[in-house]
Chain A
């Protein structure tokens, strides 16, 4: 591996300072399950690696009436082992339980998964469905970005030099809501999503009608994105196969997949519809309790 320096600051200010002042390329480190591989293979260059795991703000995990606060460096296992998250923010629990194997989940963070801005990142469609906000700290202070605005292209995001994700904030969950993330992979575990769909639905008290919905899609375009039309099609509609299939068709209509070693364009397009339908149905099932 190419030589680099390492720092493990204990305050946010120090971390931002180190990243901003670095003369070469500085890279933040959380779980390292992407970064260390990328540096080893030379896909990413690092002159300085700044370990963020000793900074309290990045390790926050707080669930209360105000919603969920998820520190950017919290490892996946803490998310899926949290009963409140499993119940209320199921989609992100689903995601964190399938990122890599158990060993990866014990290190990898959702913040890191988002920051890498991979088109096929497993947590991002779930974050989009759950309408997370990204809290960013940098040399010029703190700012917030809606999660569906965070990624700008493959491996590209809105972070300016010296900026890091501090935490993800999720609004409180309304009554009769449910969410789910599912991906298609060729094996049953240990693969990158060929298609990933996250959905959150809010039903009315009867459980028979959609109040609102949010659908996030991954691996079917240059970046994960909010499927706005498909989501809005569900609002105010009765929960039935026809409505759900319409939303699935709308999701299919907006994808721009590529053919690569993980799947073909034809496959990804078709399976977007299939998974969207399945994911909405599972979210409905969870919303009904």
Chain B
């Protein structure tokens, strides 16, 4: 695997390293706790007097709730409280900003405890708290619900037709450009159109035009830790939530809005989080646990099982996408058109907006049109999953690009280099790129040993794919306290899913001229640190890192002022450089000055905040070799290389880890993962046996090439890393399968039955 230094060496750079801490690979600060089992994840939290909850879930994909009778559950010995939607305040028609876009509160509330309808199998209907989990589960099964079963709407195109049963009577089609709403109830919640240039002329100028239709299945983030919430509604009305979440402040807002309590009465304490990938932002359990706690007078913990996680949290949408692209004789793209319908699930809110912006994001296209739809179907309400919306779109676009390359007789890397988005390229949705690194990732792949090593075996093939994600900035806050021994305690509000607290501490250490090990980072609750947006959008290392950088600037200013006072010199004569305070006649290292200042005045506390929104989009290009068994359609991955522009890599090992992990999620999406529904709208594979995420035995080593095109919009050049790597794999795999056995797959996953079906079709 190429480290930064190796990449720099390969590029012939001999300049001295720019940074002392950034670019090194210290052991993470929370490491010992995590390898000894001491780290406390959501279900490890135990609060004195805690009892256990269970949720009754709908067995139907689509039904009206006619009545709920909880009397038998309430009568079971050991049961302490029962709750239904009647225990949640009436949400009205308020729309609130809750951390990841605007949310219709009625929908969020009904998603937590169904009001009048259930909209997917697994939809929460009632909750029970009891002395132990076994009693709670038994009690939940005693709750009697009378349903009027309705026909399930499972297909995105059928859901759009005018005669489809309507899931939500309050949903009207919103035109994204004007905000105007239609006048009829519908499953189509949103319609988006982006246009650029003259699309008719663009296609008329094309020598080759390829138009294809694609389908992708619903897939899940698949974090190993199920959702869990522990809530105490205290006797004074204060509510404390202990939960593994990507956004403590978002949970705080959601709780305040859903329970109609003042924000200040809710405190959210982050547990260690066992994976999220976008799926642990919305609340699913905490509101019910809060209501149960208020009734029972003790803390209540509710844990999902794996079936609940798959059926009743927020997977990422299945989709239908039609792509049409044209190229001239030289291989330059002349026009592109996309028509995309994303399944929102039971309530509106698919990432169609991001999908529509990402669909042609890798290419400089003079004429284009993108049309997108957000469509309700009887599946769980979708949520963010690593570059939400982009992977579906890239699968479609990149596959059409691969077909164009074939028509042109052009190497796919060369085609992409010719048409790649770069600084100044204007996307079809109107955004113009700043300095970005797609070309560099293509060159990194072209120069890789992998690319230069030809494939020789039978039924083997090679594919390439590129992908893009915006990355996000948003708000972050950091507080630091200097300890008398010269160490620094750093408090942050970004829950740490993948080692980010070390990446934040490293940026602070770099700014202070200290070692990463001198910093003690901690992720703290909503009462203990300034407002911080969600851990999502690949924003934490960028934005919270920036806040840490600002905290360092604040601290340096204070140290300089205090040292000047101590030394009785003009502050202008004092500076802070490379871990030392330098006066007119002396230089004192940080440790010494920390000790000295601790005895000569008030404590040294500094703060930093950030709210910058130039995170610098990031691109990745992946190369994969496969071997396809022509008799079974099974695809084996022989070799995999992923190059990504990461801006500056703060902790290269964790950057590589993001690239590898994202690539493997993309591989799972490409080859085997899918929600498999029967005709009643019941998911038949809601477990880790038949929802097949990759095991280690399905994969080779994943070579990660870190390409560093520093982001001019960050003090250390950071771009987000986490999301891009999930985007290219399905498309790269599709191209590789075609190269190996000559069949095209237009539907995800490209599972053995689908590949074999195409092979048999080709044979006959």
Contact = CB atoms under 8 A, between A and B. Distances in A.
Touch between chains A and B, by CB atoms below 8 Å? yes
A150 interface: no
B632 A266 contact: no
Interface in A119-148: none
A274 B760 CA distance: 13
Contacts of B697: 187-190
Contact-residue bracket for chain A? 20 to 34
Interface string B632-651: 11101000000000000000
Contacts of A190: 689, 695, 697
Contact of A187 (B698, B757, B760): B698
A188 B698 CA distance: 6
B262 interface: no
A186 B689 contact: no
A192 B134 contact: no
Interface in B105-148: 134, 137-138, 141
A267 B752 contact: yes
A263 interface: yes
Interface in A180-201: 184, 186-192, 194
Nearest to B688: A190
B694 A187 contact: yes
Given A187-B698, A188-B698, A274-B631, A263 B692 contact: no
Contacts of B692: 186-187, 191
A1 B684 contact: no
Contacts of A184: 632, 634, 752
B698 A262 contact: no
Interface in A236-272: 260-264, 266-267, 270-271
Nearest to B686: A261
B690 interface: yes
A100 to B, nearest CB: 9
Given A187-B692, A190-B695, A1 B676 contact: no
A3 interface: yes
A2 interface: yes
B459 to A, nearest CB: 14
Given A261-B690, A270-B756, A189 B634 contact: no
A271 B629 CA distance: 11
A186 B684 contact: no
Contacts of B138: 2
A261 B695 contact: no
A186 B692 CA distance: 8
Which secondary structure characterizes the binding site on chain A? loop
Nearest to A195: B632
A191 to B, nearest CB: 7
Interface in B702-759: 751-753, 756-757
Interface in B138-160: 138, 141
A271 B697 CA distance: 22
A266 B694 contact: no
B685 interface: yes
Contacts, number: 66
B632 A264 contact: no
B689 to A, nearest CB: 6
A266 B632 CA distance: 11
A187 B699 CA distance: 10
Contacts of B489: none
A271 B134 contact: no
Interface string A38-67: 000110000000000000000000000000
B64 interface: no
Interface in A59-102: none
A213 to B, nearest CB: 21
Nearest to B675: A261
A260 B134 contact: no
A1 B138 CA distance: 8
Contacts of B141: 42
Contacts of B137: 1
A264 B757 contact: yes
Given A191-B689, A192-B690, A260-B684, A271 B756 contact: yes
B598 interface: no
Contacts of B690: 191-192, 261-262
Given A271-B632, A274-B632, A263 B752 contact: yes
B672 interface: yes
A28 B760 CA distance: 45
Interface string B666-702: 0000011000100000001100011010110110000
Contacts of B698: 187-189
Interface in B258-291: none
Contacts of B636: 188
Contact of B685 (A41, A261, A263): A261
B404 to A, nearest CB: 30
A186 B695 contact: no
B760 A270 contact: yes
A266 B697 CA distance: 27
B753 A264 contact: yes
Given A2-B138, A261-B684, A263-B753, A189 B695 contact: yes
Nearest to A261: B676
B174 to A, nearest CB: 35
Given A187-B694, A190-B695, A267 B757 contact: yes
Contacts of A189: 695, 697-698
A206 B122 CA distance: 62
Nearest to B752: A186
A172 B690 CA distance: 38
A118 to B, nearest CB: 12
B693 to A, nearest CB: 9
A44 to B, nearest CB: 15
Contacts of A2: 134, 138
Contacts of A260: 676, 684
B672 A3 contact: no
Most chain B Cβ neighbours within 10 Å, of A190, A261, A263 = A261
B620 to A, nearest CB: 25
B656 to A, nearest CB: 24
Contact of A188 (B307, B695, B751, B756): B695
A1 B54 CA distance: 12
B417 to A, nearest CB: 35
Contacts of A262: 690
A3 B692 CA distance: 31
A8 B712 CA distance: 69
Contacts of B671: 186
B752 A266 contact: no
Contacts of A41: 307
A258 B310 CA distance: 24
A248 to B, nearest CB: 11
Nearest 5 CB-CB pairs, A to B? A261-B676, A267-B753, A274-B631, A261-B685, A188-B697
29 contacts: A1-B134, A3-B134, A42-B141, A184-B634, A184-B752, A186-B751, A186-B752, A187-B672, A187-B692, A187-B694, A187-B695, A188-B695, A188-B698, A189-B698, A191-B689, A191-B690, A191-B692, A192-B689, A192-B690, A194-B752, A260-B676, A261-B685, A266-B753, A266-B760, A270-B631, A271-B631, A271-B632, A274-B631, A274-B632
Interface of B: 134, 137-138, 141, 307, 631-634, 636, 671-672, 676, 684-685, 689-690, 692, 694-695, 697-698, 751-753, 756-757, 760
Given A192-B690, A263-B752, 13 more contacts: A41-B307, A42-B141, A187-B697, A188-B695, A189-B695, A190-B697, A260-B676, A262-B690, A266-B757, A266-B760, A267-B633, A267-B756, A270-B756
